[in-house]
Structure 1
Amino acid sequence: MIKGIRLSSPVIIFSLSAIVAGGFYALAAEKYNEYSSKKAQKENQIQNILIAQQNSLNEIKKEIDLLKQKDEETRLSTTKLIISAQKIEDKINDSENETKIKEENSQRKILEIEDKISGLSNETSIVVKEWRPRVARIVCQWQYSNGLMRLIKNGSGFVFGEDASVYGGIWTLTNKHVFLDDNGQPPSTCSIKLPENDKTFQAPFVYGSYKTFSSVDMGLIEIKDSNSQLSATISSEKEIFCQYNADIGEKMAILGYPSIGTINDITATEGIVSGHEGDYYVTSAKIEFGNSGGIAVSTKNNCILGIPTFVKAGQIETLGRVLSTEAMFEAWGISF
């Protein structure tokens, strides 16, 4: 009790109640603040966990998308491989079919050749088989400056190389009238085709790519786009040209592409040396237009006696002419 003041019981009770209530409120406020703080921390932890889980889900989704992309790429690659394999298989089948067709054509050509030479003597048959791969069909074209065709001429030729050439390189021996027009002008180009070569050789006429000889009807066309087949064909250790004058009665075979024969393979005719006429042999073997520039081969000695020539288009002479190797050598400047 405070001196001089006397408090009644109700006042005391109220005061105590207020003190107790204030203390309880303060305690409750402290507890609430503590709870709110812990709740906020818990919510932050939960939020962080949710964010981490979301990030993890995003990474997983990215990996799934990447796997899907790789799977699609793999599927596309597999599809491409299947398509490529099918194309390769188709090409193999096409190649096999093409090879089969070529083999059948080759076999047919062999049979045709055998049929052709079956009526020839045994000596001539041997000559035809040996010399046929080197006898070429020549087609020459003259064009105007605007590209239009002016003239086409065809004939035969014999392909030989450095083993027999004084000029080096690979050349086609023929008559010069095969690749010169009536005015002595060369063509724009000539194609040269051999019966056993897959390629048709093109010979554009530029300076130095051909040679003519004023003294005889003989010319040379250079082949610059050779291939391995041609190199193998012209390689020979044997003597190509006969280095003697054939006697009357000696047998010969004329090989070439006459206009009345096949254009895809040579035609062979037999005959004998019937006489001599200047630089030429006269022969009983039939020579027709297109044979010009081919070869006349001795069936006895298996060497070239000369070049068939002096034939007009569409006419068959009873006695043909063959430019002798002696005249050829003289034009080349080689001793005979």
Structure 2
Amino acid sequence: MDISSVIDKWKPSVAYIKCDFFNKDETYAFSEAGSGTLFGFSDGVGIQTNKHVISKQLPLTGGLATPDYCTVKFLGNSKLYYVYHHTTSGVFNMQAAGDESDGARLIIRESDNFIANLLLQQGFYCKRKPSLGESIVILGYPSIGSQTDITATEGIISSYEYSVNAGNYYVTSAKVEHGNSGGAAILVKDNCYLGIPTFAQIGEIESLARILDEPGLLK
């Protein structure tokens, strides 16, 4: 399948996320933006994204701050979907991976026909591990790209990293910039969702990005 067809298939499901953090006195503190991909989970509909999109490490205490709410926006729909930290009954809508890996999800409680139609057209998780050199495409909303349309970057699988506590990652030559992390990494040959694009490792000249493997670990 050609890359333009892959992008057309997946871009409706990739969302722009903006999370707002507030101080204890309920005054606005700061915002964090990123990308995520819509999926149906066993306990509802949600957005799979990066942990660092929905939480922020505090420089003084080293603890993690979580936003009061995040807004989720899809292409072709002006509606903002609000995801609050927890429901009135105390059920958490923002769920991060329990280990040190950079995976998280947002549960959307106000699902509607637009989201239902997206899920009907949804692609699938990759069923095989790609070989080195296979082509991938990263979809998301980087801060240096358009905020009204998807930005796509292309690359290959460069290597694979194993970690006991921090998750397993594909290393890729595709560009992942602040903002499109959390989006979708698609294996071009199979047109399937490979994992969650995340931070880059910067070398002396170039940088290599990571893709969190096991995209269904939060299902």
Match of 1:213 among 75, 97, 105: 97
Match of 1:9 in 2: none
Contact 1:288 1:317 in 2 (8 A): no
The 3-state SS of whatever aligns with 2:65 is coil
Per-residue deviation, 1:170: 0.6
Q: Which is strand-richer, 1 or 2?
A: 2
Match of 2:48 among 149, 160, 173: 173
Large movers: runs of 4+ above 2 Å: none
Match of 1:190 in 2: 70
1:109-165 Cα distance to aligned partner (Å, 9 max, x none): xxxxxxxxxxxxx7110011010100000000011233321121000000112xxx2
CA separation in 1, counterparts of 2:120 and 2:71?
Answer: 22
Spell out the pairing of 1:1-336 with structure 2 (5 A cutoff).
Answer: 123-161=2-40, 165=41, 167-182=42-57, 183-206=63-86, 207-215=91-99, 216-236=101-121, 240-278=124-162, 279-311=168-200, 318-325=207-214, 328-329=215-216, 331-332=217-218
Match of 2:60 in 1: none
Per-residue deviation, 1:239: 5.4
After TM superposition, the score normalised by the length of structure 1 is 0.57
Per-residue deviation, 1:317: 6.0
The 3-state SS of whatever aligns with 2:136 is strand
5+ residue gaps in structure 1?
Answer: 1-121
After TM superposition, the score normalised by the length of structure 2 is 0.86
Q: Which moved more, 1:316-325 or 1:300-309?
A: 316-325
Percentage of pairs with the same residue: 38
Contact 1:289 1:311 in 2 (8 A): no
CA separation in 2, counterparts of 1:199 and 1:274?
Answer: 38
1:199-219 Cα distance to aligned partner (Å, 9 max, x none): 110011113212111222101
Q: Aligned letter for 2:109? A: K
Larger radius of gyration: 1
The 3-state SS of whatever aligns with 2:174 is coil
5+ residue gaps in structure 2?
Answer: 58-62, 163-167
Q: Which has the higher contact order (CA 8 A, sep 6+)?
A: 2
CA separation in 2, counterparts of 1:221 and 1:317?
Answer: 32
1:47-106 Cα distance to aligned partner (Å, 9 max, x none): xxxxxxxxxxxxxxxxxxxxxxxxxxxxxxxxxxxxxxxxxxxxxxxxxxxxxxxxxxxx
Match of 1:26 in 2: none
Q: Which is helix-richer, 1 or 2?
A: 1
CA separation in 1, counterparts of 2:174 and 2:68?
Answer: 33
Q: How many residues align?
A: 201
